[in-house]
Structure formats: C-alpha cells, structure tokens
A and B are shown apart, each in its own frame.
Chain A
Amino acid sequence: MADSAGTAQLTAAAPATPTLRRSVTPWGSFSWGYSDVGADIFVGLGLVLGAAAGASNVAFLFAGVVYVCVGLAYTELAAAYPVAGGGQYFVMRGLGDIFGFIAGWAVLLDFTIDITLFAWSCIDYLSKLLPILAFTIHPWTHFWTVLLLIVGLATLNFIGVRESSAFNEVVSGLDIASETAILFFGFVFAFRPELLIHTMHTSWPTPFNLMNGVSLAIISFVGLESISQAAQETQRPASVIPRTSISLILTILIFALSYSNLALGMQPAHALPLDAHGHEQQLWAFLGNEDNNGASVQVLASLVPYYGALAALYVPVLGAILLLISSNSGVFGSSRIAYAMSQARLLPSLFRSVHPKFRTPAVSIAIFCGFAILELIFAALPSISPGSKDVYARLFRGEDGITFLGDLYAFGAAASYSFVFLALISLRLNDPAVPRKFKMPFNIPFTYRGARVEFPLVAVVGFLGIFSILFFVMLTHVIGRIAGPSWIVLGIFGYLAYRRYKGYPMFRSRPHDWRNQQTKILQEAGELELMDEYLSNLKAVDEQRAKAGSA
C-alpha cells in the first residue's frame, strides 16, 4: 500500500492537463498492430521465396524465433511502461538519451520505408485486377501511381483525416478470416508433404542466399511496436497489452510459417506458365519472381483449389486495403514518434509544432513523406531509367526496387530491436521496482546493487538472433550496408548538433524523474493496483539498497 512518501508522489503525479482518452479496446489494440504487421507477409513472402528458395520455411522459422523474442520483450516493456513512444522510450529509459535517439531514428527509417514499401505493394496487388498498373510492364505508371498514393496519404494526414479505427478493426477481422480460409483450403486440398520435402531437397539455397532470405524474412514480422505506441490510449494496458501482443505474435507466426510451407509443398490448381527460358517452374519460383513477388499472397491464393476462384476476386482488394492502411500507419507513426522524440528533447521542437489550422504535425508529415518519396525514386530508378539500371547492376548487384526497400526495412527493424533487448536487460537490473504484469520466461534471479533482480535469458537469445539478422542484412545487401548505417550516422550528427545548440548534455542524458513519471503513467493508465505495488516496491528496494550500502 502507498506510504506517506508514496502518497506525496501520487499527489505530485496527479494529472493537471487533459490526457489521451483510453478508448482502445483489446480488439482495437490487436487490429492496430495487425494492420501494421499483418500486411508484412503480403510483401515478405515473395521476397523470401525469391531469395531462400527451398529453405524459405527455415528462413521464416529463424526470423520467427527472433520475432517471438522481440515480441515478448515488447510485451513486457509495453505492459510495464504503457506510454506513447514505444521502443524509443524504452531504450531512452534503459540506456540513456543518445541510445534512445538512435533506436527512435532507426524506427523512423522503418516508418518512412513503411510508407513507400506498402504503397508500392498496394499497387502491385491492385495490378492483379488492373494490369495497367503492373510494375514490370508499365514502370512509369506504377511509379506515378505510388507517388500519388504517398502524396495523397500525406495530404490526408496533413489536413487531419485518418481512417476510422472501426474500419481498421473490420479490415483486420476480414483479413484474418480470409487468410485462415486460404491456408485451410490450401492445406486440405493442395498440400503434399512429399512435395515439400522434395522442394526443400532439390532447391536448398546457398548459405549466402539463406542469410539473404533470413534477413528479408524479418520484414514479415515488423510493426509489433504499433501496439506499444498505442499503449497510452489502450484500456487497462498492463492487462490488455500482453494478451494482444502475444496473440499478434502467434497469429503472424502461424501465418508466416503456414504460408512458407504451403508455398513449398502446394500442388497448384492450375498449371503454371513456363519461365523465360521455356522451362516448367516450381510454385515457389513463380511466387518469388519479379512479376509476382510484390503480390505473392494473392497469386498463391488464386492457385488454391476451389477457394482460389473466389480468392482471386477479393484478395487483391483486401490485400491492397490492408497495405494501404499499413502505409498510412507509416505516415502517422513517423509523426507520432518524431513528436515523442521531440518532447524528450531528442529532436528539435520543429517536430512537435502543430499546424495552426489543421492541428496536425504538418512539418513532421512533410519531412518524413519527403524521405519516403526519395526512397521511392531510388527504388524505382533502375526500372524507369535504363541508364541507371547498369549503374545499379555494377554497384548494388542489380537489386530490384522492392528488394531495396525490404533491405532498409530489415535494417531499421534489426537496429532498433537490438537496442530494445539491451534496454530490457538494463531496466530489469536498474528498475526492478516497476511491476511487470508480464515477464519474459527463463530468468536468473540474483542480487544487484542490493536489490533482488532477474536476468532475462530470452533477451540475450533475442539479442543474438536479431544482431545476427542485422549482420546478415549488412553482409548480403549492398544498399542496406551503405544506406542504413548512413541514415544512423547522419542522424547522430544532427542529434549532437541539436543538443550542443540547446546546451543539453551531448552524450549523457538530461535529468529525468523516472519515479514520478512511472507513478503518473500507471495512474493515468487506470492501473491503480499496479501503482500501489510500484510504490510499495520502491520503498522495499530503497530499504534493501540502504541496508546493503550501510553493510
């Protein structure tokens, strides 16, 4: 129970200004994350099949294990610290301001890629109904359509129009039902275990291609942090977020592993077209080629017996809507993160300025959509300009546009997740008083600076996993090796210049009253029992440390 000191903290933490209304329900929280992560498999499946061939399921399994660790880390942190900001906030709190900036800056890279990659893939899906939009046949039309889509989303967010959350929830529900149906019919009527074994045996990739596949597979699992970013608006976040996060982890994992195994072991309902050399091609190769890798789920669905005829009609539309929502989440996600980072004095105040008429973070939207358009131009250049194709072939091993976007997406995710694992370990050691309604399993208890703490083994496994994926990205993707670190280094220079200009510590952190802030967070979250537990834990930890100090 709260003691007098705790009561004083509680009083000090009483909210003086109106705060975000907690209106996001469990399904709302889930669909918030699903509309971001759920769209990833629509993009990732084709890319991974193209790279990892007969070992695509293994690539997804490796990335999936890492993703489970990432998911568990986010679940623990978002339930313990239910604030807007997500990974950037956890890292700032666990490792300090500069690392918080790097993690947030990497997430911002992901969000700008998110805008372009999903707008690109959205048009790819629509092109299955409207062939005039096909990237390989009409690259200029494809480019202009994606560009217009990005500008349109930026404008809508600029004037303050957002898709209704109810619409988001309905689309997520429909998509889960649809994907479950595709997989069910696919497994029941077209899956052949012997074909799966045969494909894995005959089309096993080289180690380099397998690493390439693993590095691309991680993009099928990016976006879980959307749930933690919405934590501040979620009802009873400490109880609800662990459920929605774990459900999201399981749902996406089931889909990714099922799709990859189905793609390797499915007997298509119709004969596939011959490849460019006139040879028969296997399903995985067909899904992973440049014509289909942007819309592989739709192509696979259309080849499922019985259900495929129906799926061919609606999956392009449903996929396009989900991808559009995901692209839009990149627009408002980047401005939200930039706003939170600016509030924490990690970015200039420019990023939290609000348009006087529309009351939206117009500058952030313009800047990050501008970056997204630059990425689009860079990705589309080899297709729309034959001259640059040779340059790309020489410098970047001829990677296509969507693979370039996938590289950077994987880089940003792997970089920020690496820091999140380190932050989790640091917070376990340095902030043991915070009640953790959900904890990663497999912990080693010991005494650290006089207080009982638990060391998370899964965080170490997760860190090694995600760091290896970061290594794979750097090793296998020429553009990712150059563009990703360049983004981080330029960001750090900008951060140091801003902190110096403002007179803030450049490498150290500004003083933070984390205790009062945590009390306020739990109070505003409506987690009063956890708040009592926190205040009581604080007292106990202080006593333990005082006793250890005097001894």
Chain B
Amino acid sequence: MTPGDSQPHLIGLLLGLFVVVAIASTVYWMLHPPTTVAERAARETERDIEDIVGSIIVVFSSDIHSEHMMALAARLAQKERAQLLAAYIIEVPLTLPVGAEMEVERRAALGVLATAEAIARQRNVEIETEVIPARQVSQGVLDLAKKRDAHLIVVGAYREGKYSGAPLGRAIEQIAANAACDVIIGVQGHKGKILAQKSPSMPKVNVEEVTY
C-alpha cells in the first residue's frame, strides 16, 4: 500500500456512513425535545386560529368605525393568507325602498373603503370591498357572512358611557349574538386608540362636505 492509494475499503465505507448517519440523527433528535402541556395547548390554539382566519369580513357603517381593526385584520390576513373583505353597510330607513339611491352615504362608504384598501395594500394583502344596503346593519352583516361563508367577522366598537342594555351598540351586540362564525370586537378603552374616529392620523370623510 502506498500513499495516494485511495480505493475505498468496505469497512471504511461503512464507518464513514455510520459517522454521517449517527451525527445527523443525533442532531435531529436533539432539536426535537418533548413538548410541555403549555406548548401543546399553544400549538392547538394556533391550529384553531388558522381555521378561524380562512375568510375575514371587516365591517364598517356610519356608526361602526373599524379602520384600526382593519389594520389588525390586514396583518392577520397577511400572515395567514386569509381572504379579506371590507364591507360598508348602509342602513336604509324604512321610509325608503331598499334599492333607493343614497348618494351621500354611498360617497362616505367609498371613502372609508378606499382607506381600508390602502391599509390592505400597505400589507400586500388582496382585499375585496363591497357597499351593501340593508334595513339593519346587523342583518346586513349576518347575511353577508352567510353568503361568503366567512370564518371571522371583525368590528370596532365604542363603549357606551352608561349602561343602556347594549353597551357596545345594538348592531354589534346583535352581530355577536347571532353570528354563525367567530366575531372579534375591538372595544375602545377610555384612553385607547382602537377606533379611527379619535385618531388624528386617519383621514375621515365628512359627509356634509361631499359635493356631487
């Protein structure tokens, strides 16, 4: 045998393979330690959340300001690749037919939905927008959720100053009570920032100033 004679020997080959397999499997085993109860619970919750956020509807109306919730929903949708729909519900009074033209409200709705689109674009999330006339906001949302087979409804709400039987507003309470899917309600605290109306950075459309 001379230096440079480098024909593989069967035992050498087996030993070489043993080293590679033993080191690789040791490292793999090390990186997968047993989980704790808390970690298992966290993982199950994560799985549940993935199911929840398949299709998200963010609700707006003249009384429901959900821009900040929209931003949160966009982040969620971006991470979970969920479908996002921003819906503005125009409440049509009983004195008018459902199909009545309500230009001022419609213009306000377009302004709000444009903001919602811009928020989604910032996150590179695809978004659909829809303006829906309905007799009641809650019914409009519930019908839409059923039609779209939504997994999650997101709404922003003010806390009423005093107890009135529906501290978050009747529309939101009805949505929460009757929705088939999960509902996230962003309730603004006394010094909170969750709603757009009180936030100086969020452009608002003043319905009175809209001209045609």
Chain A positions within 8 Å of B, measured between CB atoms, are 26-27, 30, 176, 180, 183-193, 195, 236, 239-240, 243-244, 246-247, 250-251, 254, 258, 261, 267-272, 305-306, 526-529
With a cutoff of 8 Å between Cβ atoms, the chain A residues found around residue B27 in the complex are: 176, 247, 251
The answer to whether A267 and B3 touch across the interface, beta carbons within 8 angstroms, is yes
0/1 interface trace, chain B 1-40, chain A, CB 8 Å (1 if under): 1011111110111011101101100110111011011100
Given contacts A180-B19, A254-B22, A305-B4, contact A187 B12 (CB under 8 A): yes
The answer to whether A26 and B37 touch across the interface, beta carbons within 8 angstroms, is no
The 9 closest A-B pairs by CB, nearest first: A191-B12, A187-B16, A247-B30, A305-B6, A188-B16, A189-B6, A187-B15, A184-B16, A187-B12
In terms of DSSP, what is the predominant structure of the interface of chain B?
helix
Bound-state CA distance A272–B29 (Å) is: 40
The answer to whether A192 and B1 touch across the interface, beta carbons within 8 angstroms, is yes
Contact of A195 among B1, B15, B30 (CB under 8 A): B1
- Chain B contact patch, size range: 20 to 34
Q: How far is the CB of B178 from chain A (nearest CB, A)?
A: 39
The answer to whether B13 and A240 touch across the interface, beta carbons within 8 angstroms, is no
Using CB atoms, name the residue of chain B closest to A186. B16
With a cutoff of 8 Å between Cβ atoms, the chain B residues found around residue A271 in the complex are: 3
Q: List 16 A-B contacts (CB under 8 A).
A: A27-B31, A188-B8, A189-B8, A191-B11, A236-B33, A236-B36, A246-B30, A247-B29, A251-B23, A254-B23, A258-B19, A261-B15, A267-B3, A305-B4, A306-B6, A528-B38
Q: How far is the CB of B129 from chain A (nearest CB, A)?
A: 43
Q: How far is the CB of A416 from chain B (nearest CB, A)?
A: 25
With a cutoff of 8 Å between Cβ atoms, the chain B residues found around residue A246 in the complex are: 30
The answer to whether B30 and A269 touch across the interface, beta carbons within 8 angstroms, is no
Bound-state CA distance A195–B23 (Å) is: 26
The answer to whether B33 and A184 touch across the interface, beta carbons within 8 angstroms, is no
With a cutoff of 8 Å between Cβ atoms, the chain B residues found around residue A240 in the complex are: 33
Bound-state CA distance A239–B36 (Å) is: 9
Contact of A243 among B11, B12, B13, B33 (CB under 8 A): B33
With a cutoff of 8 Å between Cβ atoms, the chain A residues found around residue B26 in the complex are: 247, 250-251, 254
Q: How far is the CB of B5 from chain A (nearest CB, A)?
A: 6
Given contacts A192-B12, A236-B33, A240-B33, contact A250 B22 (CB under 8 A): yes
Bound-state CA distance A261–B12 (Å) is: 11
0/1 interface trace, chain B 57-85, chain A, CB 8 Å (1 if under): 00000000000000000000000000000
